[in-house]
């Protein structure tokens, strides 16, 4: 796969003896070659590589990083920007309609997606609304039965709209309805008409276009045509496993401004994943140096006698916040650290929390100095009367004390989240990438 060579780029950055202008230029050329080979649209390749070059040659190295880490961070961030947003379909009641050309992978994806949501506790049903291909009914029914998913279809019925109407009636108690539709060789009027009619009856929350990654740059024309015809709001890229041209479909999504929801990476039902841009780009880069970054965090943490386990486990107390603040002091702003983590994981954190200034850190320490041992170890007990006492004792305001408590809670949640996302707790350096 052409995008695979980005790993090589990351390895070269990690192995370079010095980062100079020549190195950056070579590196940018290599990135360009990888992207172009992967069928990424030329204009986008230029945008991405120009941005990398400009930043790599002009930005100051952050205090917490060395030059290599900084370059890797820039490459990571610009690729991420190039990839765009992912579409996360929440675990809520929803009607989903899949559209796409013949053989793009709609029926397979219908089953994969149903299993994906079923595994996450949703009550899912699939609807066979492809009345065009004779075997479509059996194909979906079989897949659904295999995975214990509710199936609705009407064998022999030619009117897809009628099937969808009946399905809506019959499947009212399901959380999610996933409707498989017919494909055609090309986007013919007849197909558009049928899609529009199905959508009118179904009123889908999501109209997802299934795009075969193997078509490379052609994906953008196809996506545009479907979008113009029925207005899609998400894209699923299939067959990402077997092609070197996957960049074409990625860049098609970006070009028409529609987020990618999932990618299919094989024929089996498990070969399916939610499209998480941060994780995706990290994997493209092999993550070699994210490891270094993690080691750095670990190192600084141990210098400060910060317990890395507690740091990530979410069992930590205000005492740990005290040490953490000191450690963060050495690493640079919290935001920068989390931005570098591939596990960015859509962790949305208030700007206030992220922008911990030196000034604020000092204030927080003063506040904590006015707390009792018991309060530091068990912040839960800090009620409004204690808040008042602490504020007076530290010469701050109750507002500020509350702010510290909010910061503490946010950190604790973040750590929990990182743990849930299977970030190894012990020995951050041993990530095994």
Ligand X SMILES: Nc1nc2c(ncn2[C@@H]2O[C@H](COP(=O)(O)OP(=O)(O)OP(=O)(O)O)[C@@H](O)[C@H]2O)c(=O)[nH]1
CB 313 within 8 A of CB 414: no
- Residue 176 pairs in a beta bridge with 94, 124
183 part of the interface to ligand X, by CB under 6 A: yes
The residue (of 188 and 267) whose beta carbon lies closer to ligand X is 267
Segment interacting with ligand X, rule: CB under 6 A, options 149-157, 263-271, 281-289, 356-364? 263-271
Q: What residues numbered 147-176 form the site for Mg ion, per CB under 5 A?
A: none
Written as six digits, the tokens of 109 are: 């994806």
Is residue 262 helix, strand or coil?
A: strand
- Per-residue HEC secondary structure of 194-219 comes to HHHHHHHHHCCCEEEEEEEHHHCCHH
220 binds, among Mg ion, ligand X, none (CB under 5 to 8 A by kind): none
The residue (of 266 and 332) whose beta carbon lies closer to ligand X is 266
Neighbour count for residue 134 (Cβ, 10 Å): 11
Tokens 């390895």 appear where? 11
Q: How many CA atoms lie within 13 A of 181 on its CB side?
A: 28
Angle (deg, nearest 10), helices 106-119 and 136-146: 20
* Torsion, CA 318, CA 319, CA 321, CA 327, rounded to 10: 180
CB 41 within 8 A of CB 255: yes
The residue (of 52 and 143) whose beta carbon lies closer to ligand X is 143
429 part of the interface to ligand X, by CB under 6 A: no
107 part of the interface to Mg ion, by CB under 5 A: yes
266 part of the interface to ligand X, by CB under 6 A: yes
Segment interacting with Mg ion, rule: CB under 5 A, options 103-111, 154-162, 293-301, 363-371? 103-111
Distance CA 144, CA 150 (A): 7
The residue (of 73 and 106) whose beta carbon lies closer to Mg ion is 106
Mark 66-105 with x for binding to ligand X (rule: CB under 6 A) and - for no binding.
----------------------------------x-xxxx
- Biggest CA-to-CA distance, the chain: 80
The nearest distance, CB 269 to ligand X, in angstroms, is 10
265 part of the interface to ligand X, by CB under 6 A: yes
The nearest distance, CB 242 to ligand X, in angstroms, is 5
266 binds, among Mg ion, ligand X, none (CB under 5 to 8 A by kind): ligand X
DSSP string, 119-145: HTT--EEEEEE--SSTTHHHHHHHHHH
Query: What residues have CB less than 8 Å from 132, skipping those under 6 apart?
Result: 182, 183, 184
Q: What residues numbered 278-307 form the site for Mg ion, per CB under 5 A?
A: none
CB 63 within 8 A of CB 332: yes
The residue (of 184 and 402) whose beta carbon lies closer to ligand X is 184
Distance CA 286, CA 289 (A): 8
Indicate which single residue of 69, 130, 276, 289 sits in contact with ligand X (rule: CB under 6 A): 130
403 binds, among Mg ion, ligand X, none (CB under 5 to 8 A by kind): none
304 binds, among ligand X, Mg ion, none (CB under 5 to 8 A by kind): none
125 to 96, 135, 149, 151, 178: CA distances (angstroms): 10, 19, 6, 6, 6
The nearest distance, CB 433 to ligand X, in angstroms, is 24
Q: What residues numbered 113-142 form the site for Mg ion, per CB under 5 A?
A: 136
The nearest distance, CB 129 to ligand X, in angstroms, is 11
Q: What residues numbered 342-381 form the site for ligand X, per CB under 6 A?
A: none
243 part of the interface to ligand X, by CB under 6 A: no
379 binds, among ligand X, Mg ion, none (CB under 5 to 8 A by kind): none
251 part of the interface to Mg ion, by CB under 5 A: no
162 part of the interface to ligand X, by CB under 6 A: no
Q: How many residues does the chain have?
A: 433
The residue (of 240 and 408) whose beta carbon lies closer to ligand X is 240
115 part of the interface to ligand X, by CB under 6 A: no
Distance CA 237, CA 245 (A): 12
106 part of the interface to ligand X, by CB under 6 A: yes
396 part of the interface to ligand X, by CB under 6 A: no
The residue (of 113 and 414) whose beta carbon lies closer to ligand X is 113
DSSP string, 87-116: PP--SSSEEEEEE-STTSSHHHHHHHHHHH
Indicate which single residue of 53, 227, 239, 245 sits in contact with ligand X (rule: CB under 6 A): 239
Q: Write out the residues near Mg ion by the rule CB under 5 A.
A: 106-107, 136
Q: Write out the residues near ligand X by the rule CB under 6 A.
A: 100, 102-108, 130, 133, 136, 183, 238-239, 241-242, 264-267, 271
């Amino acid at each position: 796969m052409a995008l695979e060579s980005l790993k090589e780029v990351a390895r070269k950055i990690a192995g370079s003896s010095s980062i100079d202008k020549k190195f950056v230029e070579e590196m940018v050329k290599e990135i360009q070659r990888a992207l172009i080979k992967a069928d990424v649209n030329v204009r986008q390749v230029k945008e991405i590589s120009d941005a990398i070059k400009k930043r790599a040659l002009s930005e100051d190295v952050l205090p917490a990083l060395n030059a290599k880490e900084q370059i890797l961070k820039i490459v990571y961030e610009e690729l991420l920007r190039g990839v765009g947003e992912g579409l996360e379909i929440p675990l809520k009641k929803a009607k989903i309609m899949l559209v796409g050309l013949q053989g793009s992978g709609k029926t397979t994806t219908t089953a994969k997606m149903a299993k994906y949501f079923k595994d996450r506790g949703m009550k899912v049903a699939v609807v066979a609304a492809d009345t065009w291909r004779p075997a479509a009914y059996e194909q979906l029914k079989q897949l659904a039965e295999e995975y214990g998913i509710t199936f609705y279809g009407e064998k022999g019925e030619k009117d897809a709209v009628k099937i969808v109407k009946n399905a809506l009636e019959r499947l009212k108690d399901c959380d999610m309805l996933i409707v498989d539709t017919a494909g055609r060789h090309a986007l013919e009027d007849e197909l558009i008409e049928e899609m529009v009619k199905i959508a009118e009856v179904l009123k889908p929350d999501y109209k997802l276009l299934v795009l075969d990654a193997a078509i490379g740059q052609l994906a953008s024309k196809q996506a545009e045509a479907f979008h113009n015809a029925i207005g899609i709001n998400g894209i699923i890229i299939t067959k990402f496993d077997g092609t070197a041209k996957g960049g074409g479909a990625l860049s098609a999504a970006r070009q028409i401004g529609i987020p990618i929801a999932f990618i299919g990476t094989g024929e089996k039902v498990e070969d399916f994943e939610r499209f998480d841009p941060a994780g995706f780009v990290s994997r493209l880069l092999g993550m070699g140096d994210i490891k270094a970054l993690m080691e750095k965090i670990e190192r600084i943490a141990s210098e400060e006698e910060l317990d890395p386990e507690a740091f990530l486990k979410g069992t930590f107390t205000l005492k740990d916040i005290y040490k953490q603040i000191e450690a963060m002091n050495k690493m640079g702003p919290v935001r920068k650290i989390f931005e570098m983590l591939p596990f960015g994981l859509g962790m949305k954190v208030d700007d206030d929390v992220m922008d911990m200034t030196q000034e604020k850190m000092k204030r927080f320490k003063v506040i904590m100095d006015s707390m009792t041992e018991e309060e530091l170890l068990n912040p839960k007990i800090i009620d409004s009367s204690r808040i008042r006492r602490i504020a007076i004792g530290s010469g701050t305001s109750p507002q500020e004390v509350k702010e510290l408590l909010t910061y503490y809670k946010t950190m604790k949640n973040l750590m929990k989240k990182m743990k849930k996302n299977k970030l190894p707790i012990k020995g951050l350096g041993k990530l095994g990438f």
